[in-house]
Amino acid sequence: MEGSTLSQVPQPQTYRVTKEHIKISSYLWALARFLQVKQLKRVTRGEIIDALSYPNNVMEHIILNKGMEYGLLSRVRTGLYNVDLDMADTLVHRIPLGFAGATKSIVRGNTYMKEAEELWSAWNAFVDWHNRGANPIDLPIGAVHVLERYGIRPFMEVKAPNGADVFIVDMKDIHLIMDRLRGGPYVFCFKYKEGAKLCSFKKYVLFRYLVVAPPQ
């Protein structure tokens, strides 16, 4: 009987864990934000250039290709693209990558890049607060409000696959466990319900909420 009970306990290797990016290029984020705000189902290359401030043609080419790689854009013909607005919304729930000196100069003159930098700064402030002990007295309220403005909701509670209650940062389809938060670009995830993945920066933290503890 004891052997039978133990054999029913799920083991980590039975779960399909994937690596997902929670950070994307600030230019790609700005493109997704532009499309989300304007609710464009079809967009021209000229409209994208007018809305965003790419530093050069090479960067423009890279971001347009990256948009197609993510499924945000699909080419109709040269210079014309169909837009997946659901993917635009999903990408806005990601965190923009850091800002180099050249990028910062572009930010000053572009609304969507300013928003990308605002979200980037707010996320860094929130993670820093978390790693300093997460004292409620020191909670960066302004940073939390910025996160929420773009649909990223900290302190949400969900039921994990092993039945435990867990606090997450709700990033639409990514539910990031609020434990060992880091500034890295990717997380480990397990699809635990339709349209949502439970994720963590550390595999062992994720497995803690997947695996049912053996009976004592």
If you average pLDDT over every residue of the chain, what do you get?
A: 88
pLDDT 10s digits, 87-128: 999 999 999 997 654 455 555 668 899 999 999 999 999 999
Count of domains for the chain: 1
DSSP result, 85-100: HHHHHHHHTSEEPP--
| DSSP state for residue 156 in the 8-state scheme | E
* Residue 71, in any domain of the structure: yes
Residue with tokens 């499309």: 35
Half-sphere exposure of 17 (CA within 13 A, CB side): 21
Dihedral sign for Cα 80, 85, 87, 92, please. positive
Report the distance separating Cα 18 and Cα 202, nearest Å: 12
- Would you state the pLDDT for residue 108? 61
- Would you state the pLDDT for residue 60? 86
CATH number at residue 42: 1.10.10.10
**174 contacts: CB under 8 Å, gap ≥ 6:** 20, 22, 93, 187, 189, 196, 197, 199
Alpha helices (H) along 108-180: 111-131, 141-149
* Residue 139, in any domain of the structure: no
* Residue 116, in any domain of the structure: no
Chain centroid to CA 134: 21
- Would you state the pLDDT for residue 36? 97
Residues of the chain with pLDDT under 70: 1-14, 55, 99-109, 213-216
Q: For residue 37, list its beta bridge partners.
A: none
In total, the chain counts a number of residues equal to 216
- Would you state the pLDDT for residue 7? 38
Identify the domain containing residue 51 by its residue range: 24-92
| DSSP state for residue 163 in the 8-state scheme | S
* Residue 14, in any domain of the structure: no
* Residue 206, in any domain of the structure: no
* Residue 108, in any domain of the structure: no
* Residue 31, in any domain of the structure: yes
* Residue 55, in any domain of the structure: yes
- Would you state the pLDDT for residue 215? 58
- Would you state the pLDDT for residue 100? 55
